[in-house]
Chains A and B, each alone.
Chain A
Amino acid sequence: MSRLFVSLDRHTSLQASWCQPDRYRDLFDLSRSGPLAVAGAAVSYAAAGFGAQAETIQMTAFRRILAFDPQTPSITLEAGISLGSLFDFLTPRGLYLPVQPGHPQITIGGCIAAAVHGKNQYAEGLFTHWVEQIQLWHPDHGMMTLDRQSEAELFSLTCGGFGTTGIIVAATLRLAVLPGTELVVEKIPVDSFDETVARLDALKDQYDLLYSWNDMTRGGAAQGKGWIVAGRYSSEAQAKPSPVWAPLDPARKRWRPKIFSAASAAIINRTYAALETRKPRQTLPLFEVFYPVASKPFYFDWYGQGGFIEQQILVPTLAWTSWSEQTRRLLQTSDTAITLASIKAFRGIQSLLAYDGNGFSVSFDLPNSPQTLAFLDRLDSINSSHGAITNLIKDSRLSAETCRRQYPQAQEFTDRLQRYDPSRRFRNALTARLKL
């Protein structure tokens, strides 16, 4: 069977064959023929779950808990289980996964394959830091058990390997004791982009949740004016059950009004800022903190049928001042507009294709347009010249050349993959574009 696949940013779409096995024997039978792509929820920004000439295996029927140890604490799960489902299981038991991307539909397998990060990477690291073991299936190698000791190389290729090493069937994750049942969140005003980074740097050891919202449509010294969202866990109230949320389906045909554009960005940012600054301190339920996008599915649709581009850039701390100055100068001469900007503090060691390192991670959302693409091409150069790296799972238009300039071990990743799987059975639109 074939169906239309569309990346969350709507930049990449194609018709591809697709299956959704719900029994192990079907899963292993299907994976014996032709090139394959693996999808979890199929809602990644860039097209990692489908590819030309590849049959997509969607893993969402494999969503069972296989083992659970509340003492360690750890859990073994099939890879198609969603973060939301796991949240519903763990929260009443006083446990949680510290690293979670922003939507409950995302699967564990997707989190591993994309080596995602959460709201406070500085404190918690990448999702893959919490992965202890992976059950990986490859038609030529069978079922393999990977961990950092026994299959270290394949483990590191699979964590952040964008599904190229095989099908992640199950994984064992370390858990943490939930520090509270809600978060008390305050908004700390900042007057500029650079002040944001200075304040994040000063606050990064003090809060459980820390990221910024910046208005990049403002000009001059006020560019980047906004606030830092700083939160601490609290246990004053009982944990609230998850609200009902609508699944994302970028391939679904429906009306998508183009609300966000270069022309409307300024007024939307000002309006949003005016509304949000009325709530300088809030107590938020855990679900809303972990999955802020769940209550705003319209956000992605409001870029119209043409969609948007998200670029997430990890800028080394020492390069910040120069990078920020050049980026803001470029923005002033550009015809596009950044509709959403946010910064987080990061720390870690970059290796292979992992979006990791020491510095500040900046996210920009922009309406997809020729002006935006031209702006991002020039921003790529600024990024590369400052040692910054682009998050590969977020950016649908990054070139293979830029990827290799920014990720010194990209070729090493490809070489290792080639040695492990000379036939390269697993591929997708992202790996094809980046020539991985």
Chain B
Amino acid sequence: MRACIIGASAGLGRAIAEQIAGRAEHLYLVASDQSDLDAMAADLSIRHAVTVHTAALDLRNCDPNALYADVVAKMEEIDTLFLVAGFSSKDDNGAVADSLANTILTVNFTGPVRIANAFLDRLAGVAGANIVVCGSVATARPRRGNALYASAKKGLEFYAQAIRHTFANINSPCKVQVYHLGYLKTRMTFGQKLLFPAAEPDNVAKIIISNLGKDIPGLCIPKWWTVITTVFKLVPWAIFKKMNI
């Protein structure tokens, strides 16, 4: 396996990197901070004898084509792209500062989409290739508590499903897996009072890795979120509009 992980230094991205390192020949890790990436690269290469490449990128102003060129130059080939990066803010409940809006939209939507777009042609022709897209259960229904985050994640999921259609149309061997992730025990949820329990990133990573090679248009992890999101969608508007969520 030769995989690139966008958002690799913490939370789910780090858990995925740690779990696939044992079966990967090359890993290319992308995150915003080089010191975290250096520590990850050292650890994974020492434990698993995998060759690890890194790039410290700010998704708000990265050049996807330069990233793609560097990935191909260093790994020669790529067969799996994980789009894990995410960012939310408790202030995302109405009008927010433009810089915050820009961060939420670029980290969750335009950044990953532009990167996927740069890799698309290459991955479309690789046997056993995967594009793994981490969306959110927040996309189940629009609500005031995360307007920008949920919109951005919905956009990302929509794009991923469109790629899936494209690949099916051209009989591409590359599979697309789209996940609606529930709460995870990460910095994003730390200290927040959550309505439902948060999952361990290690457990979620295990499920995502076991699904590589499959065609998944949209799957909730953990699975019990399917029930919650279904109920959520069925709440009548007259009641929903009064809910403080």
A-B contact pairs, 26 of them (CB 8 A): A1-B190, A1-B191, A19-B190, A19-B191, A21-B187, A22-B10, A22-B11, A22-B187, A23-B33, A23-B187, A24-B39, A25-B33, A25-B35, A26-B187, A61-B10, A64-B39, A64-B40, A64-B43, A65-B46, A65-B47, A66-B39, A66-B43, A67-B42, A68-B46, A78-B39, A89-B47
**Majority-rule SS of B interface residues:** helix
Residues of A within 8 A of B42 (CB): 64-67
Find B36's partner among A1, A24, A65, A89 (CB 8 Å cutoff).
A24
Q: Is there a chain A Cβ closer than 8 Å to B9's Cβ?
A: yes
1/0 per residue, CB under 8 A from A, across B1-22: the answer is 0000000011100100000000
Task: Mark out the residues of chain B between 42 and 77 whose CB falls within 8 Å of any chain A CB in the assembled complex.
Answer: 42-43, 46-47
Q: How far is the CB of B33 from chain A (nearest CB, A)?
A: 6
Determine the residue in chain A with the shortest Cβ distance to B35: A24
Q: Is there a chain B Cβ closer than 8 Å to A358's Cβ?
A: no
- Which range contains the number of B residues in contact with the other chain? 10 to 19
| A22 to B33 Cα, complex, angstroms | 12
Q: Is there a chain B Cβ closer than 8 Å to A20's Cβ?
A: yes
1/0 per residue, CB under 8 A from B, across A238-266: the answer is 00000000000000000000000000000
Residues of A within 8 A of B43 (CB): 64-66
Known: A66-B39, A78-B39. A23 touches B10 (CB 8 A): yes
Q: How far is the CB of A108 from chain B (nearest CB, A)?
A: 14
Determine the residue in chain B with the shortest Cβ distance to A66: B42
A23 x B9 contact (CB < 8 A): yes
Residues of B within 8 A of A78 (CB): 39
Greatest chain B CB density within 10 A among A24, A64, A66, A68 is at A64
| A21 to B33 Cα, complex, angstroms | 14
1/0 per residue, CB under 8 A from B, across A11-28: the answer is 000000001111111100
B35 x A67 contact (CB < 8 A): no
Q: How far is the CB of B170 from chain A (nearest CB, A)?
A: 39
| A52 to B47 Cα, complex, angstroms | 39
| A230 to B33 Cα, complex, angstroms | 50
Residues of A within 8 A of B10 (CB): 22-23, 61
Residues of A within 8 A of B36 (CB): 23-24
Find A24's partner among B33, B46, B191 (CB 8 Å cutoff).
B33
Determine the residue in chain B with the shortest Cβ distance to A85: B47
B46 x A67 contact (CB < 8 A): yes
Q: How far is the CB of A21 from chain B (nearest CB, A)?
A: 8
Residues of B within 8 A of A62 (CB): 39
Q: How far is the CB of B242 from chain A (nearest CB, A)?
A: 29
Q: How far is the CB of B34 from chain A (nearest CB, A)?
A: 9
| A20 to B47 Cα, complex, angstroms | 24
Q: How far is the CB of A96 from chain B (nearest CB, A)?
A: 17
Q: How far is the CB of B228 from chain A (nearest CB, A)?
A: 24
Q: How far is the CB of A59 from chain B (nearest CB, A)?
A: 13
Q: How far is the CB of A30 from chain B (nearest CB, A)?
A: 11
Residues of A within 8 A of B186 (CB): 22
Determine the residue in chain A with the shortest Cβ distance to B44: A64
| A25 to B43 Cα, complex, angstroms | 19
Residues of B within 8 A of A23 (CB): 9-10, 33, 36, 187
1/0 per residue, CB under 8 A from B, across A55-78: the answer is 000000110111110000000001
| A64 to B9 Cα, complex, angstroms | 12
Task: Using A62-B39, A64-B43, A89-B47 as known contacts, list a sample of 7 further A-B pairs with CB atoms less than 8 Å apart, ordered by residue number in A.
Answer: A19-B190, A22-B11, A23-B9, A24-B36, A67-B42, A67-B46, A68-B46
